[in-house]
Each structure stands twice: as structure tokens, then as C-alpha cells.
Structure 1
Amino acid sequence: MKIPKLIFESFGYICPLEKISMENCTLYTHEVDMGKVLTRMRAHFDASSLKVTGQDDHWESITVVSKKRRLRKGNTLTITYRQRAVPGYTLEHSDEPIIVNLHGMYAFVQQISADNQELKERLLAKIPTINTEVVIKAEPSFNGDLRSAVMELAYELDAFFFSEGNVIFNTDVQGFWDKTGALLLDVNGHSTATHLTVNIDAKYFDSQTPPSPDALERKARSLQQLQSMGIRSSAMLPAITDESNVVLRTPAEVAARVAVLSAVNAVAFGYLEGKEIIGYLQQHQLWEHTTPEEKSFLDNPTEELKTKETWKCEDIWVLMWALNKVPELGYMNDLCNLDMVPQEVYPFKGVESDPASFFSSAKELRPATEILDANDLYYRAHWSCVDAILKSEESPAHRGIVYERHYALNWLINYRNQPWDEVTCDT
């Protein structure tokens, strides 16, 4: 298999394939008490060998300076770490560097063709439980007590290793090792370990509401449906909210949103000028429902922005579906056709038209169950599209279509209470 130049960022350094003047390894653990690291190092090395930056209960780095009686002269060991802001056991979307890195690690492991598929699945299950990343650097290499100290630390933290090869594992191959030093999975798919335990601290589990049976059943249906469509998704993605917790947008909110979108869309396709639509929206009390980005576009509809706005056809389609004006969303690789929406129920028919009749007919949304089913499905399909891009592969689902529909569905379910311009489509 072709190995990428950079697998994923490992805190404190990038893991290249070239040899470097020091040896590195990274420990990944669900543990958050880093006082254990300092305690372990103090138990293994005498005080004169240690230099600690920061307070004992919140240290920033630990350096072990070589001594002739313990270490070969000139060798040092440096330990740093980073953690999740909020400990957990799932990989929700986040801009936190450690979460971003874990997503990259998960995607990397997922694409390896493993000899021991069950062990690979256990490693994939363990990655989302990681709360702390501990980077260990040895100059010029791990040897003697340095190696034994690192292995003791792995046991203390119930951690697994990522390494590109060093004297600890006696290999030049990149891979993952368990706390005993047994190979969990290397880039060629090989393993020597036979088992990997996945532990989740109960206090973290209890602090997060576990998904309901309905949410888990919805997730399973979506995965099965995507599989039947030839779309690969990830079983590790969490379940979304369920009917008992979701607060959908009101029919009036949805009607106002689609009315504005349909009017702005006429400018995107070049049928009307921005100033004409501004007048129309103001005349029909829709200007207050027009977002800052839409107002900016109408003021200066550049060709680049017009192209971007034409994609909002898919959002209009989803919202019309939610209002029962469209029978089904259709395929994920087929562009919607707004001409299929009967003119009598379409909100915008020109600047001389009055949207009052549309508003009077838009009084009810589809059941929350249907909207959540669609949201869950497109959420998982969107992950597949992003994953395909990362792997330079083609996806059976059209990324643009899936993204816009996911966007509209997230707005419908009040995802993170985000206004239209700020909706995120986390994967």
C-alpha cells in the first residue's frame, strides 16, 4: 500500500518517514491525571536527574538529564502532553488540535488492510476514548532505563503507542503498539498482539447522556441504507439527538427562510438584479428574515458569489420537503429540480407576486422522526464525502448536494442553535 508522507500530526512534532536525530514515540491514553506521569518518573529516576517545568499538579514538560550511573552520558528524555478540554469517549467535531489529530488517526487506521480485523476494530474503538496525548522524545535514542521508564509509564496510563520505529520496538516501520510492546497494527496491516482492552472511565460516561434506543436504531438504519447505496460511512460516528430532545424550527420560520432563499436565488441565476430583490423583500416584510450574508450578496452579487448561491437550490429543496411541498428528497447524486415544485406552492414567482398564499399554506412540518431520519442519513453521507476527499477517492454521493442538504437539515433541527449564516456541518 502507498503510505502518505505525513500520517497525522503528533503533538510536538510531525511524523515523517525520514530518519531524525532523536527518537520519538507518543502515548495515547484515556487517563487525564498527568500527576501520575511525574510520580512515575520520580519513582524511576533520582531527583537530580529531573527538571520539571510548571507546577507539580499542572506541569508543562519533564526532562530527564542523563547521569553516568543511570543513563549513558549525553542522553535525555523529554515528556510533554496535551489533553481534551472536556474528557469524553466519543469523537465529536471540534477544532481542538488533539481531537483533529484523533480524527486523522482514526481515518488512517480505518484505511489499513489488517491481517487481524478484530484487533483493528478494537483499536478503532479505543481511539475515540483517548483524552490525553503524551509525547516522549529521546536524544539520541531510547536505551537502558529510558526504555523501561517508558514501558512502565504505558502500563501506568493504560496507553497504547504510536511510533515510526525506534529501539523500544526494534523496527523502522510506523505503527501502533500496546502497553506491553506488542504490535497492534503497522502500516502494512501486520500485528503480533492478540487483544486490546477498551476502557472508559465511568465518570466520563456518566457525565454525557448516552444515546437513546431510538437514536441508535436510527443510526443503524442509516448505515444500512448507505451500505445499500454503496456509500461507506463510519460506525464510530455518534448517534444524533432524538425526538425527545430535538426542537425543530417552527413552520413559520421555515416558510420565511425558504421565501427569502427562493427570492435571493433569482439573483444567483441572473434572472433579476439584487436591488429588485431587496425591494421585494422589504415590501413583503421579509427583509428582517434576510441574513447578513444574503444582504451583502444582494448589495454586490459578484459572479463568484452567484455561483456559490446557486447551490442554495438544494437548501430550498430540503425546506420545501420539510413543509410537505416536495414528496421526497431524491438521490444523493442527482441535483434537485425546482421546476418540479408546483408553481402554486412555490414562494417566489417574481417581484410582482405576493408570497401570502405560500405562507398561508405552510402551516405544518413533516414529523420530527422523518426530519431526524434525513438528518442522520445526510450526516453520515457527508462524512463519507469528506473521507473520500481525504483519500483522493470518488464518492457515490455528490459532495455539493450532500453538504447543502446536510446544512439545511442541521438548521431545521436547531443544531447547536446556530443561525442560518453560521450553521456547521460537522462530520
Structure 2
Amino acid sequence: MNHFTIFASKNDLDDMHAKIADVFAKGFAIEKQDSGYLLKSKGLFKKCRCSMNILTEDMNPDYFAKNIPGMMGYYDTIPFKDEQLKERVMIQIAVLNTVIAIEMDRAMTDEHMQLFTRLLTRIGGIGFLPDGTLLDQNGSVIVYPNGESGPSDFRPHACTRKINTHEVASAQGEVRKNKTIAFLTEREIPYAASLPQLSPLENLHFKSQEDIARRAVALLIVIQFACDVAQNGDIEGSREFFTDMLHKYKVQPFLTEQERLFLGAQHPSTQEAVNISWQYEAYWTLIWALGMVEELDFPEDVCDCEYAIQAVSSCETFEQFYQQTIMRSKEEILDEADKIYRLHWACVDSRINGQTAPLALNESVVMERRRGLFWMIGYQDEEWDTISMDT
């Protein structure tokens, strides 16, 4: 091994030279270079050279925009035995803004590692070994690449600059944002690093399991009426049938105002019917959150409408439908909301630049998924019909 990397969260580098000199001046000649330092051993024997490349978020924004999400994605895939430790590691990575990349011209000895660990302690960061092992500031292992916890009692540290800036409004939000960016980067989907975080869990007003279930049933019923309108079916017969269905499942109060007006219109608009029909995709997110859909596939194709209908039509009452639901965690729903938010930006960016959406993303599917997910998390307390679609 001839590489060792120190990551840190620091307000500035004013004391960096003094810290390096304190650790290495006795055994190495230290030369300041544009990108960091070059260290040359002073001894006649076992001569070696060591370069220290120093990068900061201020001076190297592209590096951090690419590599911090990548690092986040890497540790997200490690099967941590301790989920709380994983959360602390992800929070730490989210607030890193300084990197000291150390490379030697020969294999590192135990003596070299002791020196690098001393520097790590002086700087107060975390150490990264080439195999993925993470060290705390004292050189104790935080986590091994197989997910096993080390002896370190690790707690994340953030400098005041990162805590106080608007960009890192919450460590939780930054972790979520960077996980999504890692997902996008892996698939070569463009993203905007400036797109803000979604609010942390404690600041959102999640809908209850029952509210989501009743909204899902009401929405599916009005979608069926909209499909009949769009296909020039028997409007009056359809209206009567689906109004009875709303009463049967006791979900009429869970229609939106626009849906009530549409259902009661003497001549319902065909275009509005088409728009409501697209909300199958929003409905799909609701029954996904209720555990009735295994996963939300990449939003390139429309959902399975036949299964979507069966999920409710196979039940005689709302209570029977509700008993089949198992609510997903708020964290999982918020993760999907963040993902669809940034995928929506990619769709809009492609459209306004006259390009095809990456990986055949379907913007209509994305928008309706966003409606359902943002409604469930209570984003800015917006109503179903007025969910913001800004990017």
C-alpha cells in the first residue's frame, strides 16, 4: 500500500503547514508546491518521497461535486452491521470539504503509517485506506470493507462553515441528496448540484397510512371515470357507477376539489380526463408506499394498470383493502421523493435544451410520481392538485 487519504471538515487551511511540519519536519525535508507538499526523507538509507495533494471544496468544487456523492454511494453499498454507525458515517461524508491525498513512491511501512496517523489526529479528520477501511482521527478503525464495525467510538464532526451554510441545511438532507446524486452519477444522468435538499423528516408532515389508503382508492375510482370520458364512453352511466363506488368504499371525502368538479360536470373536459388518467402513476406511488408494489422501477414506462385496478377491485370494502397494506418507512418514502425530484430536473433540463431525456425517462411518469410522493411527505403542505413542479 502506498496511498493514504485524509478527509476533513475544516473552516480553513491556515494551520495546515504547521501541522505537517510538526509531524514530518524531523525526518523529512518539506517543500511547498502549488497543489500541496513534497516530502523527502532526510536519511541516507531507505530514502523515499511522499507527495501530499491538498484539495478544498472552495478551490476544487468539481472534485467534491463528483467524488463526495461517489464516496457516499460506495459506503451506502457496504453492508454495515451497525445501521446507526452507517448513518454517522454518511453524515460525516456529507460535510467533508477538505482532502489530503498522500502518495508514497514505495510501500508504506508501519513507521510511515504512524506518522500519517499522527497527521490525521492533528487535522481531526477521518482516514481512508485503499481497501475501503475507514479510520477515526486517532487511527482506530471505524468500519471495515465487509461492514464489520471497528473499535472506534466514532462521532461525526463538522466545521462551523458547513453547519452554518444554507447548502447543508441538515446533515440528514445532505446525506439523502448525495445518495441520490451517486445514483444519478452511476447511470450518467445529469444533475444540478445547486438543487436544494428536501426538508429533514422532522420538518415534514407525512400523511398517515389510512389517509394514503383512502386517497389511493378515491383516486383510482375517479381515474376510471376519467378513462371513460377520454374514450367517449357512456358519461352518465359511468358517473353513476363510479359515484356509487366512492360511497361503497367510503372515500368520497378524499376526492380533491378539482376531482369533484370533474365528476359532477355536465360536459367533462376530454383534456382534463387525459390529465387525470395520467395520475395512475401518482396512484402507483401510493400503493407502493402501502407495500402493495414491491419497488418503484426506473420511470421510463407506465405502471401496470391492470394490477393497479385489481389492488382495489379484489376487495369488497375499504377495510378489506386497508388490511392488506403495510406502510413503508418515512425514510424510504423520502428517499424516493428526493430521487424523483432530481430526475425531474434531468427531464426538464433535457427538454429545454432540445435533447432526449436520459435513459428514456418519461417526464409525464416522473411528474405524476412526484405528485404522489410529495403529497405523502407533506412537502410545504401543498394540496394534491397544486403540488409544485419547480426544478
**TM bracket, shorter-chain basis:** 0.5 to 0.7
Q: Which residue number in structure 1 is paired with residue 312 of structure 2? A: 347
Q: Per-residue CA shift, 1:326-362, capped at 9, x if unaligned?
A: 000101111111324593xx12459xx4333102333
Report if aligned partners of 2:209, 2:290 keep a CA contact under 8 Å in 1: yes
Q: Which residue number in structure 1 is paired with residue 390 of structure 2? A: 426
Report if aligned partners of 2:299, 2:365 keep a CA contact under 8 Å in 1: yes
Name which of structure 1's ranges 270-279 and 401-410 shifts more when overlaid on structure 2: 270-279
Q: Which residue number in structure 2 is paired with residue 412 of structure 1? A: 376
- Does residue 323 (structure 1) correspond to residue 281 (structure 2)? The answer is no
Deviation of 1:119 after TM superposition, in Å, equals: 9.2
- Does residue 264 (structure 1) correspond to residue 229 (structure 2)? The answer is no
Report if aligned partners of 2:220, 2:309 keep a CA contact under 8 Å in 1: no
Report if aligned partners of 1:258, 1:320 keep a CA contact under 8 Å in 2: yes
- Does residue 381 (structure 1) correspond to residue 381 (structure 2)? The answer is no
- Does residue 212 (structure 1) correspond to residue 174 (structure 2)? The answer is no
- Does residue 275 (structure 1) correspond to residue 237 (structure 2)? The answer is no
Identify which of 300, 304, 315 aligns with 1:333.
300
Alpha-carbon distance in 2 for matches of 1:236, 1:409 = 21
Report if aligned partners of 1:315, 1:408 keep a CA contact under 8 Å in 2: yes
Amino acid at match of 2:170: S
Runs of 4+ in 1 over 6 A off after TM superposition: 118-122
Alpha-carbon distance in 2 for matches of 1:233, 1:378 = 12
Structure that is richer in helix per residue = 2
Q: Which residue number in structure 1 is paired with residue 330 of structure 2? A: 368
Q: Which residue number in structure 1 is paired with residue 194 of structure 2? A: 236
Instruction: State the identity as a percent.
Output: 27
Deviation of 1:288 after TM superposition, in Å, equals: 1.4
Report if aligned partners of 2:215, 2:254 keep a CA contact under 8 Å in 1: yes
Q: Per-residue CA shift, 1:250-278, capped at 9, x if unaligned?
A: 00110011000111111122277123212
Report if aligned partners of 2:172, 2:200 keep a CA contact under 8 Å in 1: yes
Deviation of 1:407 after TM superposition, in Å, equals: 1.0
Q: Which residue number in structure 2 is paired with residue 16 of structure 1? A: none
Q: Per-residue CA shift, 1:279-322, capped at 9, x if unaligned?
A: 32134432111111111111233322221111011011100000
Give 1:3-14 correspondences, 5 Å limit. none
The runs of 5 or more residues in structure 2 that have no matched partner are 1-57, 66-159
Q: Which residue number in structure 1 is paired with residue 321 of structure 2? A: 358
Alpha-carbon distance in 1 for matches of 2:59, 2:353 = 23
Q: How many positions carry a matched residue from both structures?
A: 226
- Match of 2:349, SS state, is helix
Q: Which residue number in structure 1 is paired with residue 212 of structure 2? A: 254
Q: Which residue number in structure 1 is paired with residue 40 of structure 2? A: none
Identify which of 201, 224, 232 aligns with 2:182.
224
Alpha-carbon distance in 2 for matches of 1:248, 1:235 = 26
**Aligned-residue CA RMSD in angstroms?**
2.9
Alpha-carbon distance change, 237 to 261 in structure 1, aligned in 2, over 3 angstroms: same
Alpha-carbon distance in 1 for matches of 2:166, 2:59 = 27
Report if aligned partners of 1:263, 1:348 keep a CA contact under 8 Å in 2: no
- Does residue 290 (structure 1) correspond to residue 255 (structure 2)? The answer is yes
Report if aligned partners of 1:269, 1:310 keep a CA contact under 8 Å in 2: yes
Amino acid at match of 2:274: T
Give 1:60-209 correspondences, 5 Å limit. none
Alpha-carbon distance change, 249 to 269 in structure 1, aligned in 2, over 3 angstroms: same
Report if aligned partners of 1:275, 1:298 keep a CA contact under 8 Å in 2: no
Alpha-carbon distance change, 339 to 230 in structure 1, aligned in 2, over 3 angstroms: farther
The runs of 5 or more residues in structure 1 that have no matched partner are 1-117, 126-201
* TM-score (normalised: structure 2): 0.53
* TM-score (normalised: structure 1): 0.48
Deviation of 1:120 after TM superposition, in Å, equals: 11
Deviation of 1:380 after TM superposition, in Å, equals: 0.4
Deviation of 1:249 after TM superposition, in Å, equals: 0.6
Amino acid at match of 1:375: A
Alpha-carbon distance in 2 for matches of 1:210, 1:216 = 6
Alpha-carbon distance in 2 for matches of 1:342, 1:267 = 13
